[in-house]
């Protein structure tokens, strides 16, 4: 699930409970979850229950998410469609994570019907349509988004689908547009867009040097397993097997080792994460997480 993974789901909230940065009072995401659960138990308002929908959906807890989703709809008394559309969207992301594409389609379509201009819902619906082989419908959904949105991910997605469909000329146009937009965004806020830009330059952008530079920046900003995995992919695209040892020795992959030792109980060696990283770099296999 490409676009969904890039735009919204950085990691499961359950994993974040173990490694997320605490807030100013030293409290993490697990504290936030417990707080909302207590609030909903004391007062079952739409706001409290809707917050639980978000948490359960991000954690992939299907039954609680469905139950709280139904309850939040029954509690809603507002006139704006946005709060309900957001819950539909979050449920769609959960269904995509579970590879339940029919359910994902229904959720994204519900969000789009509530708010026709909901770009993220339309983009994810196009991704689902592509998975079903409905290429023309996916292209039509993405075309207006790619042309009007400041988010280059829509252009990237459209370029990829067109390339698969053999429409190379159109694909090149949208790929160039995405590259220009990423360059503009990186000038303004490099840290915010380093991860998405790294993935673009690793794939459609085909610039491993730029990808590696951005992946290093991203790992410094986001010291997470996902950032580590993205860095590993960038290294694999950039360096040969004979250069990996010196790269690992310079400390860029220390986060992988430390995270693996801290968050993988029962491992025989604290260097397991390092060995695993080296193996994946040598075999040029994708490494999505270090733990």
Residue 29 has pLDDT above 70, yes or no: no
Q: Is residue 82 part of a domain?
A: yes
**% helix / strand / coil in the chain, to the nearest 5?**
75, 0, 25
For the chain, the domain total comes to: 1
127 in a structural domain: yes
Q: Does residue 213 belong to any structural domain of this protein?
A: no
pLDDT at residue number 12: 38
Kindly state whether residue 14 falls inside one of the protein's structural domains.
yes
Measured over the CA atoms of residue 128, residue 134, residue 139 and residue 144, the dihedral's sign is: negative
> Is 125 part of a structural domain of the chain?
yes
Look at residue 107 and tell me if it is in a domain: yes
Strands (DSSP E) contained in the chain are none
In angstroms, the CA 208 to CA 152 distance is 19
**Structural contact between residues 274 and 257, judged by C-beta atoms closer than 8 angstroms:** yes
Residue 10 lies in a domain: yes
- CATH number for the domain that contains residue 79: 1.25.40.10
Domain hosting residue 8, numbered range = 1-132
Spatial distance between the Cα atoms of 99 and 95, rounded to a whole number of angstroms: 6
Q: Is residue 41 over pLDDT 70?
A: no
Q: Is residue 195 part of a domain?
A: no
- Burial of residue 173, with CB atoms counted within 10 A of its CB: 0-12 exposed, 13-18 middle, 19 or more buried: middle
For residue 117, give the DSSP letter: T
What is the distance of C-alpha 123 from the center of its chain?
14
For 143, half-sphere exposure in the C-beta direction (CA atoms, 13 angstrom radius) is 8
SS3 107: helix
**pLDDT by residue (tens digit) across 101-148?**
999 999 999 999 999 999 999 999 999 999 999 999 999 989 989 988
């Amino acid at each position: 699930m490409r676009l969904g993974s890039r735009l919204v789901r950085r990691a499961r909230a359950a994993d974040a409970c173990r490694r997320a940065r605490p807030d100013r009072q030293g409290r993490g995401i697990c504290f936030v979850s417990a707080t909302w659960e207590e609030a909903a138990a004391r007062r079952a308002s739409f706001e409290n229950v809707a917050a639980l929908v978000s948490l359960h959906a991000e954690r992939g807890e299907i039954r609680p998410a469905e139950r709280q989703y139904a309850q939040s709809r029954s509690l809603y008394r507002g006139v704006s469609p946005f709060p309900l559309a957001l819950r539909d969207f979050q449920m769609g992301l959960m269904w995509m994570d579970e590879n339940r594409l029919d359910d994902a389609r229904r959720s994204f379509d519900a969000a789009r019907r509530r708010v026709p201009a909901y770009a993220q819902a339309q983009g994810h619906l196009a991704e689902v349509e592509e998975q079903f082989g409905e290429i023309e419908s996916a292209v039509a959904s993405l075309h207006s988004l790619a042309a009007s949105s400041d988010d280059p991910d829509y252009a990237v997605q459209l370029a990829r689908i067109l390339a698969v469909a053999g429409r190379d000329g159109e694909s090149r146009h949208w790929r160039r547009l995405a590259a220009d937009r990423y360059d503009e965004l990186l000038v303004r806020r490099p840290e915010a867009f380093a991860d998405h830009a790294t993935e673009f330059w690793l794939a459609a952008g085909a610039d491993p040097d730029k990808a590696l530079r951005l992946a290093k920046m991203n790992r410094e900003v986001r010291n997470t397993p996902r950032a580590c995995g993205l860095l590993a992919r960038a290294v694999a695209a950039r360096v040969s097997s004979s250069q990996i040892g010196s790269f690992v020795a310079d400390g860029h992959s220390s986060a992988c080792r430390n995270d693996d030792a801290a968050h993988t109980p029962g491992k025989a060696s604290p260097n397991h994460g390092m060995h695993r990283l080296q193996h994946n770099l040598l075999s040029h296999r994708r490494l999505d997480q270090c733990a």
